[in-house]
Amino acid sequence: MHATFPLGRPAGIRVGAHWSVLLTMALLAWLLSRSLLPDAVPGRSPLVYWATGTVGAVVFLASLLVHELSHALVARHRGLTVESVTLWLFGGSTELTEEAPTPRTAFTVAIAGPAASLLAGAGFLGASLPLPGATGVTLAWLGWTNLVLAAFNLLPGAPLDGGRVLQALVWRRTGDKRRAQAAAARSGQALGLVLAALGLAWLLWSGSFAGLWLAGIGWFLGLSARAELAVGPARELLGRIRLGEIMTPVPVTAPGWFTVQAFVDQAAAARFRTYPVVGFDGRPVGVVSLALLARVPEQERAATRVEDVCARPPVCPVATPETPLTAVLGRIGGRPGQDLALVVADGALVGVVSPADIARTLELAVLGAKARRPAR
Ligand SMILES: [Zn+2]
């Protein structure tokens, strides 16, 4: 899910919203202002209903963000790299670029979101008690929706949080991570089917829009679970490949202390578009591409050093020869200056992994062969 609007970087985590979240917001504001509030506190002006309803919808989305940020912060606290948090039509998604190394970490990251929603729900309900009128009703609604959100997310099917919890428990019990993933995904498929059927029955029975919503969520859940089942074997294969096996060993480097102009003259004779940048002591500094250098105005190229404009970690991933390919796969993005992983051993650059290295590895895997380091 790609964010349409960036919402900032709290605690260094890229937070954004997909345009479809506007639909969710409009729907919730409409539900509150046109049906819930007029029923609970009749006799106020439409303006009061709409203002309170809109604020309620925005606060609900903010509490959704708190749910996702809890996943993200716990993941980061446990040493995992968090790519982004995005809000969209059916809620939020937190993207991690690596998998949890232990069942315990997987469990803690998964449970953090529902725990935050549970706390938020209890907080809103508590705050609603002494308040009369539209504000109290809206706070109580926020409390209950957060509690429902926590409960719904704990349903035991991937990719819901409850599915991840189930996966962590099966993993811990069997010691087999892939089997646990497959079990959680199958459970997610079944759950998606049940929810879609319930939603459709609800829609047909009462004509309620909530039925359509539930059917949509069930359909999406089933599709996501099926996709997880399908990529399982490929992930297993990729998880066994170490970067040391597929990297391009010590390639042409860009000396960080060179001026952009001096390096451009040198790069004209090399055959690459992206280069690892090394410092004077040979330590890797970052990654620079011709596209990144082209952004330096011509009159500044003789006075700007390569290391001042290069992309530095964590924008470009740094890994060791033992790192599994899956750990950097999502982070080699194809954007200029970001499409190279640096492979470092004992503080020195030993190789790089480019999208071409990865494509070659995958194509060889399809052909039944294994990538080997070239003979020298
Ligand atoms: Zn969650």
Q: Which pLDDT score, from 0 to 100, does residue 336 have?
A: 52
Boundary-marking domain end, from 190, 205, 240: 240
- Is residue 157 domain-shared with residue 293, that is, in the same domain? no
Token pair listed for 39 = 């029923």
Decide if 112 is inside a domain.
yes
State mean pLDDT over 271-279. 87
How does pLDDT run across 35-76, given as a tens digit for each residue? 888 888 888 888 888 988 999 999 999 999 999 999 999 999
Q: Which residue has the tokens 């907080």?
A: 123
Residue 97 Cα, ligand 1 centroid: separation in angstroms?
16
- Is residue 73 domain-shared with residue 46, that is, in the same domain? yes
Domain holding 287, by residue range, is 244-366
Edge-first strand listing for the sheet containing 341-345: 248-249, 348-353, 341-345, 318-319
Give the number of domains in the chain.
2
Residue 1 Cα, ligand 1 centroid: separation in angstroms?
15
Q: Taking phi first (over 0 means left), then psi (-120 to 50 degrees means alpha), and beta for anything else, what does residue 231 get?
A: alpha
- Is residue 229 domain-shared with residue 289, that is, in the same domain? no
Decide if 278 is inside a domain.
yes
Higher pLDDT, 96 or 113: 113
Boundary-marking domain end, from 240, 261, 296: 240
Decide if 265 is inside a domain.
yes
- Is residue 26 domain-shared with residue 145, that is, in the same domain? yes
Catalytically annotated residues: 68
How does pLDDT run across 4-37, given as a tens digit for each residue? 778 888 777 888 888 888 888 898 899 888 888 8
State mean pLDDT over 242-259. 88
334, pLDDT greater than 70 = no
- Is residue 251 domain-shared with residue 198, that is, in the same domain? no
Average pLDDT, the chain: 86
- Is residue 231 domain-shared with residue 276, that is, in the same domain? no
Q: Which pLDDT score, from 0 to 100, does residue 204 have?
A: 92
> What distances in angstroms separate CA 255 from CA 101, 293, 338, one per listed residue?
35, 14, 18
Decide if 376 is inside a domain.
no
Q: What CA–CA distance (Å, rounded) separates 317 from 240?
A: 19
State mean pLDDT over 206-227. 88
Decide if 32 is inside a domain.
yes
What is the radius of gyration, based on Cα positions, of the chain? 25
196, pLDDT greater than 90 = yes
State mean pLDDT over 247-272. 87
Give all strands (DSSP E) within 117-273, no chain letters. 248-249, 254-255
- Is residue 226 domain-shared with residue 278, that is, in the same domain? no
Token pair listed for 290 = 């011709």
376, pLDDT greater than 50 = no
CATH number of the domain that residue 293 is part of:
3.10.580.10
Q: Which pLDDT score, from 0 to 100, does residue 94 have?
A: 79
Residue 114 Cα, ligand 1 centroid: separation in angstroms?
6
- Is residue 294 domain-shared with residue 202, that is, in the same domain? no
Residue 162 Cα, ligand 1 centroid: separation in angstroms?
9
- Is residue 125 domain-shared with residue 185, that is, in the same domain? yes
227, pLDDT greater than 80 = yes
Q: What angle do CA 179, 183, 184 make, to 5 degrees?
A: 120
Convert 121-160 to b/e letters by CB count within 10 Å (16 or more is b).
beebbeebeeeeebebbbbbbbbebbbebbebbbbbbbbb
- Is residue 252 domain-shared with residue 215, that is, in the same domain? no
Cβ < 5 A residues, ion ligand 1: 113, 153, 161
Higher pLDDT, 89 or 60: 60
Decide if 13 is inside a domain.
yes
Contacts of 266 (CB under 8 A, 6+ apart): 258
- Number of Cβ within a 10 Å radius of residue 213: 17
Decide if 114 is inside a domain.
yes
Q: Which pLDDT score, from 0 to 100, does residue 241 have?
A: 84
- Is residue 43 domain-shared with residue 160, that is, in the same domain? yes
Q: Are 373 and 249 in contact (CB under 8 A)?
A: yes
How does pLDDT run across 102-156, given as a tens digit for each residue? 999 999 999 999 999 999 999 999 999 988 888 899 999 999 999 999 999 999 9
- Is residue 56 domain-shared with residue 166, that is, in the same domain? yes
- The DSSP output letter for 11 is G
Decide if 227 is inside a domain.
yes
Residue 198 Cα, ligand 1 centroid: separation in angstroms?
22
Residue 327 Cα, ligand 1 centroid: separation in angstroms?
21
Q: Which pLDDT score, from 0 to 100, does residue 197 have?
A: 95
Contacts of 337 (CB under 8 A, 6+ apart): 274, 287, 288, 289, 291, 292, 310, 311, 315, 316
Contacts of 61 (CB under 8 A, 6+ apart): 21, 24, 25, 87
- Listed range (306-310, 324-328, 347-351) with the worst mean pLDDT: 324-328
Q: What CA–CA distance (Å, rounded) separates 12 from 74?
A: 13
Q: Which pLDDT score, from 0 to 100, does residue 155 have?
A: 93
Boundary-marking domain end, from 217, 240, 263: 240
Q: Which pLDDT score, from 0 to 100, does residue 335 have?
A: 60
